[in-house]
Amino acid sequence: MIFLQHDFKIRSITILVWMVVLFSCKTDIKEVNALATREGLPEMSGEDMELWYSDSARLKYRVIAPVYEKYNLEKEKYDEFPKGLKAILYDKEGHEVGSIVSRYAKKFEEEMLWELRDEVVVINSEGKKLETDLLYWDMKKEIVYSDRYTRLTSGEQIIEGNGGFESDQQLYNPVFKEVTGQVEIQNEQ
């Protein structure tokens, strides 16, 4: 008889535990769907990546990045480089003509627009060095621009634009806003 009472108590406790477990769990369908969907997650990602961008079988630029993430969202498609990048640019003959370094970058696919942030440094084929904290590179229009403080160094000459600048993508014809700086002028008489 003692054995039966003991068995009855174990069954009662087991049933009680199962009831607590079953009734304490609640299922939120939104939470389940959020776990099941990949919305907001990268379609592709990688570390220590080297990406080659070409057009008509011609290398245009090469990107080296510690972290690469490709997003293919319903509203927008973009590549993100959350830990920065180094891009090496090439001319039509395949010669290196410049470089870009930044601590963060994002490339919007449909707009063909690069957004580079945090310690952006651009060096062109002439050795001109452009420094800013924000740079946009519009590949369709073939221009670069910023609305932030920008500094261009060319040899001994330094031009600063406190209101940003706009230029062709080779930095041959930059136009600065709110200009300050040191420029050497030759007097021809």
Strand partners, 137: 114, 144
Q: What is the pTM of this model?
A: 0.72
Q: Spell out, as residue ranges, where the chain has pLDDT lower than 70.
A: 1-40, 181-189
- Is-contact 90 74, C-beta < 8 A? no
CA neighbor of 106 nearest in space, from 76, 61, 128, 130: 76
Place of tokens 């060095």: 129
Strands 104-108 and 179-182: unpaired
Beta bridge partners of residue 100, listed in sequence order: 87, 122
C-alpha span between 171 and 123 (Å, rounded): 9
Tell me: the pLDDT tens digits for 22-56?
555 555 555 544 544 556 688 888 899 898 988 88
CATH of 41-182, one of 3.40.50.300, 2.60.450.10, 3.30.465.10, 2.40.30.10: 2.60.450.10
Distance of CA 2 to the CA centre of its chain: 72
What's the pLDDT tens digit per position in 88-107?
989 888 889 899 999 999 99
Pull the structure tokens for residue 12: 């009662």
